[in-house]
Amino acid sequence: MPKFLKGAVAIATAVALSCATMANAQGVLRVGMTAADIPLTTGQTDQGGEGMRFMGYTVYDSLIEWDLSSADKPSVLIPGLATEWSVGEDELTWTFTLREGVTFHDGSPLTAEVIVWNFDKLLDDTAEQYDPRQSAQGKSRIPAVASYEAVDDLTLTITTKVPDATLPYQLAWILMSSKANWEAMDKDWEQVAMAPSGTGPWKLESVVPRERAELVPNAEYWDETRIPKLDKMVLIPLPEPNARAAALLSGQVDWIEAPAPDTIPAMTGNGFVISSNAYPHNWTWHLSRLEGSPWNDIRVRKAANMAIDRESMMPLLGGLMVPAKGFLPPSSQWFGTPTFDPSYDLDAAKALMTEAGFGPDNRLTVKALISPSGSGQMLPLPMNEYIQQSLAEVWIDVEFMVVEWNQMINLWRAGAADEAVDGAQSINFTYFIQDPFTGLIRHLDEGLIAPNGTNWGHYKDPEMQALFEGIKTTFDPVEQTAVLQKTHEKYVNEALFLFVTHDVAPRALSPKVEGFVQAQNWYQNFSSISMAE
Amino acid sequence: MLSYLIRRILLVLPVAFGVSVICFLLVQIAPGDPLTAIMPIDATAEEQAAMRAAYGLDKPLPVQYAIWIGNLFQGDMGKSIASGRPVAAEVFGAVKNSLLLAVSAAVIAFPIGIFLGFLAGYFRDTWIDRAVTALSITGVSVPNYWLGIVLVIIFSVNLGWLPSMGAGPGGSQSWAWDWAHMRHLLLPAVTLAVVPIGIVSRTVRALAGDILSQDFVDALYAKGMSRADVLRHVARNAAATALSVMGLQLGYLLGGSILIETVFNWPGSGFLLSNAIFQRDLPLLQGTILILALFFVAMNLIVDVVQAAIDPRIQRT
């Protein structure tokens, strides 16, 4: 080849390479999280939904995952590390086919034996790799699992204790760490925490506890559509809302989670974008169903629900809420078609209260547990005061018992009959309602009456129990959806809770952030994001 | 002096023991549960009990204390329940960052406080005195977390001159004495300096005013000493008391910056403490409080010793 031609080829190659680099080089996204620490990095994350969002579905995968590709429809389950699954005729044995060719960030292959190793990491306290910290996060997510076995490299079976059609939802919680990496790190999870290895679209490049974690793209990710466009994503714990807002406004981060409603005008006024969407979050009051509780009267429950003008609550939250029409958000695939509408109707509410024997001269007093702050609590004090004023209109006087959030969680676990709740007949709580268990079953299942579970109000109803059984034993997804809808209709028709609102997961973004699609889910896909010049 | 020193050091031991008991009991009094931070809300009662046993939280309090203090004597402060990391590494890393902030604030506050105090004391009952007094009272009265937020709005958000949070571009582990890192220190250090400026200037003003009204000052002037020389004598006389106030202030700066560290997301002991409180992370809480309390005790000891060294009139027997 002539010299000039060689030179031309070299230049052309260099230009092409540099263009390719430029095409991939789509910036650094710096995220201000609400968490006070970097979520647990070894696999099963801590810090609730935020931990899974930023350190779970980024670095790791589960057998079955949530579809995070659309903002327009509720998320559904999709194949993850398993491409297909089915339950046997015994309705106990599930067979999973694993995705071929998947490797961990350290290059080791994903096999059924590694999946079994991961289950042992959580469930078998005699296993060498058993990790109490990951177990604390993961074990309670998969109550149905009795045993598991690797049939061959790409086939896995899981046997459940009883027939349980919600197993796929349970498995969406369980993230797979690399066995080879754990062995390379002297079988020490503390070392793994600093250099973990998953199969996810992002690799953890560095971590400074409590300060920052840096994630870079996994160019070999098995789903090409989810290979990150960014060069890097930096996660910064910023638990204080004002510090988060200032960091965004001063250009130190490009994205903050949960901006305080009163800072939103300053952000939008400075060109920042508020992204939000309906998602499975609930802000509600649980009601005691113990003997003697005034909430045992359906007329009182319905009246209380109809006394709240939810639309008028919206300005308080800068419009960032979905007024409740039931226990699940109206956009949920499991909402169904309840006949009771809890919308504001003061006259109807007063009529119900009168029928129940209450009036201006015979007021009802109830006690409610509330917290001044907490995870997913939005603005609990003004919101609860608004409810207090609303209920007073229908002759229900609410006396608050205010406790700090950590203690509130304990009181929620303790249940309405525990002496620690001091006779409170209601508790304001907020949580994840993304799957059949967290969304419906756990709140009213007889077997989960507190302190065995989170049926705070000690609710018991054979009809509801049969519906829960139906959810667990209906393996056809379409039929299961119908049972879930029927269950939710009962929730609403019998006004089993004080339905108030749903959060919309607000996050404030720099105008430079492009390509983000906010899924109707607690987790998000960061792979589509790029930063404008 | 040596016997005094040994006695003071020996006295630290019962104080440290008392501090350890109080630290341990204080964090137990608060309602809440450390397991809340590490277990999903749906964890069954059985799973919670197993985890409680794994962390030794099911044992009676005296047993828990004995285990904790026993481990402490072996240099083991335990592991944080929330993060799983060793408490010693967490606390000492954070204390190092707080010390950086506290010393920076002291470097700003003490010279300014001394200068303003002398100025006010020397020009007592003049407009200068009143102006300094007004400044000092403002400094002591303004909530420093509020001032921090205001400074962030002005210098970070509106002017964009200084960062609003963090300990440098790569976090505190890569701290360096360059502008990229020091600009992160500036706003929290200035905010933290405001209260000690007020306290030190008020103390020095009172001392200077008092000493200047004493007979020996007139005698010094009568002997023909220059104003500067007289002031040097005044400064030496005021030094011992001023030093003890400044020593205590340094202790407060280290342990009392919880709000400032939260406002500026500064990864120090206050920030650590605040998170440990919300998470009921008992080992971390006990470890942090103990180290800060012992630092305070040590500061008192150092101040006492230095006081005696620079002022021969202070007799230690």
Residue B70 included in any domain: yes
Q: Do B39 and A239 touch (CB under 8 A)?
A: no
Residue A326 included in any domain: yes
A361-389 pLDDT, tens digit per residue, is: 999 999 999 998 887 889 999 999 999 99
Domain that holds residue B68: 32-75
Which amino acid is located at A432 in the chain? F
Tell me the two tokens of residue A236. Answer: 């910064």
Longest dimension (CA), chain B: 86
pTM of the predicted model, to two decimals? 0.88
CATH assignment at residue A342: 3.10.105.10
* Residue in B157, B184, B279 to test binding to A, most A beta-carbons within 10 Å: B157
Could you give the CA distance from residue B66 to residue B79 in angstroms, rounded to a whole number?
16
For residues A271 and A287, membership in a common domain is answered with no
Could you give the CA distance from residue B285 to residue B248 in angstroms, rounded to a whole number?
22
For A139, which of B45, B47, B157 is closest by C-beta distance? B47
Look-up of token digits 């060069």: A231
Look-up of token digits 């095409």: A23
Identify the closest residue of chain A to B148 by CA–CA distance.
Answer: A243
Binned at pLDDT 50, 70 and 90, residue A1 comes out as very low
State ipTM: 0.83
Determine the pLDDT at residue A51.
93
For residues A309 and A163, membership in a common domain is answered with no
B247-280 pLDDT, tens digit per residue, is: 888 888 876 588 899 999 999 998 898 888 888 8
CB A485 within 8 Å of CB A449: no
Tell me the two tokens of residue B137. Answer: 């009272």
Determine the pLDDT at residue B15.
84
| Residue at which a domain ends, from B44, B75, B106 | B75
* pLDDT higher than 60, residue A143: yes
Residue A11 included in any domain: no
Domain that holds residue A94: 61-189
Contacts of A413 in chain B (CB under 8 A): 41, 48
CATH assignment at residue B167: 1.10.3720.10
CATH assignment at residue A509: 3.40.190.10
For residues B163 and B264, membership in a common domain is answered with yes
Q: Do A454 and B267 touch (CB under 8 A)?
A: no
Determine the pLDDT at residue A6.
52
Q: Do B36 and A410 touch (CB under 8 A)?
A: yes
Could you give the CA distance from residue A225 to residue A212 in angstroms, rounded to a whole number?
27
A454-499 pLDDT, tens digit per residue, is: 999 999 999 999 999 999 999 999 999 999 999 999 999 999 999 9
Average pLDDT over residues B48-66: 86
* pLDDT higher than 90, residue B309: no
Look-up of token digits 């003061």: A346
Identify the closest residue of chain A to B52 by CA–CA distance.
Answer: A136
* pLDDT higher than 70, residue A4: no
Look-up of token digits 């089915």: A86
What one-character DSSP code corresponds to residue A316? G
Determine the pLDDT at residue A197.
98
How many CB pairs below 8 Å do chains A and B form together? 137
Q: Do A246 and B156 touch (CB under 8 A)?
A: yes
Alpha helices in A373-476 (DSSP H): 380-392, 405-414, 436, 442-444, 462-473
Q: Which of residues 188-227 of A touch B (CB under 8 A)?
A: 190, 193, 208-212
A495-519 pLDDT, tens digit per residue, is: 999 999 999 999 999 999 999 999 9
Determine the pLDDT at residue B94.
92
Residue B257 included in any domain: yes
For A243, which of B36, B164, B279 is closest by C-beta distance? B164
Binned at pLDDT 50, 70 and 90, residue B171 comes out as confident
Average pLDDT over residues B215-237: 87
For residues B112 and B171, membership in a common domain is answered with yes
For residues B138 and B185, membership in a common domain is answered with yes
For residues B166 and B241, membership in a common domain is answered with yes
Burial class (CB in 10 A: 0-12, 13-18, 19+), B248: middle
Tell me the two tokens of residue B189. Answer: 């250090």
For B173, which of A208, A406, A454 is closest by C-beta distance? A208
Residue B256 included in any domain: yes
Number of domains in chain B: 2
A390-410 pLDDT, tens digit per residue, is: 999 999 999 999 998 888 988
Q: Please, which residues have CB within 8 angstroms of residue A204's CB and are 6 or more apart in sequence?
A: A41, A55, A59, A195, A196, A213, A214, A215
Beta bridge partners of A256: A32, A508
Binned at pLDDT 50, 70 and 90, residue A28 comes out as very high
For residues B57 and B178, membership in a common domain is answered with no
Assess A373–B contact: CB distance below 8 Å, yes or no: no
Binned at pLDDT 50, 70 and 90, residue B124 comes out as confident
